Amino acid sequence: MIVEKTREKGREGRWRRWLLVVSLALNILVLGLVAGAVLRGGPPVGPGVRVDLTLGPLLRALEAEDRAAIRAGLQARRPVERRGRVEMRRDMHAMLEVLQAEPFEAARMRAIMDRQFDRLQTIQGAAADQVIAHLAAMPPAERRALAIRFEAELHGGAGPRDHGGDARGD
């Protein structure tokens, strides 16, 4: 009876560990997508690619020139310096070590992820500041056209631009 309970507990522990690993992998994926989108100028485009993370629908609703201007402003601000990118890479390798280690050290993984999330928050804050500054500088007609495209993004992504129309109203 005790042997059976020990086996069940061992299986349950492995199952939970794998669930944690999968969860961590998904979190890292989301972290990478957000950081990559911010640093590369918006989310990837193409069929089936939709990652709505805070600024996603708004960034998709912006015209390409607007996204380029925001990206240029963000790159000029450099929210993550070279040292930060080196630290991010170092933390990814540390995550790998934690995942490979026995026993799994949840507290160490949490500390690594917290550092990554702090860096991401810095990037997201800088991106939000840049977007807001750009929106504030837009003429009212362009901002209204953006609102129309943004609303379309919120309702499935089919907007005037998707059908060859020009929503700017120029």
pLDDT tens-digit profile of 50-102? 444 467 888 889 999 999 998 888 888 776 667 777 888 899 999 999 999 99
Of 7-16, 37-46, 100-109, 130-139, the one with minimum mean pLDDT is 37-46
Judge whether 69 lies within some domain.
yes
Question: Per the domain annotation, does 29 fall within a domain?
Answer: yes
Q: Which domain holds residue 6?
A: 2-40+62-161
Render pLDDT for 22-38 as a digit per residue (tens, 0 to 9): 555 556 656 566 656 65
* pTM of this structure: 0.54
CB-side exposure of 30: number of CA atoms within 13 Å? 14
Tell me the CA end-to-end span of the chain in Å, nearest whole number: 78
In a domain? residue 169 = no
The whole-angstrom separation of Cα 160 and Cα 153 is 10
d(CA 33, CA 27): 10
Give the residue with greater pLDDT, 141 vs 2: 141
Does 156 reside within a domain? yes
Nearest to 168 by CA among 147, 142, 150: 142
Tokens for 54?
A: 């805070």
pLDDT over threshold 90, residue 149: yes
Asked if residue 140 is part of any domain, the answer here is: yes
Tell whether 55 is covered by a domain: no
pLDDT digits (tens, 9 = 90+) for 112-145: 999 999 888 888 888 888 899 999 999 999 999 9
Q: Is residue 150 situated within a structural domain? A: yes
> Do residues 65 and 154 make contact, with C-beta atoms less than 8 angstroms apart?
no
The Cα–Cα gap between 7 and 27 comes to 30
Does residue 53 sit within a domain?
Answer: no
Q: Give the pLDDT score at 73.
A: 86
Instruction: Give me the number of domains the chain comprises.
Output: 1
- Residue 38 is predicted with a pLDDT of 56
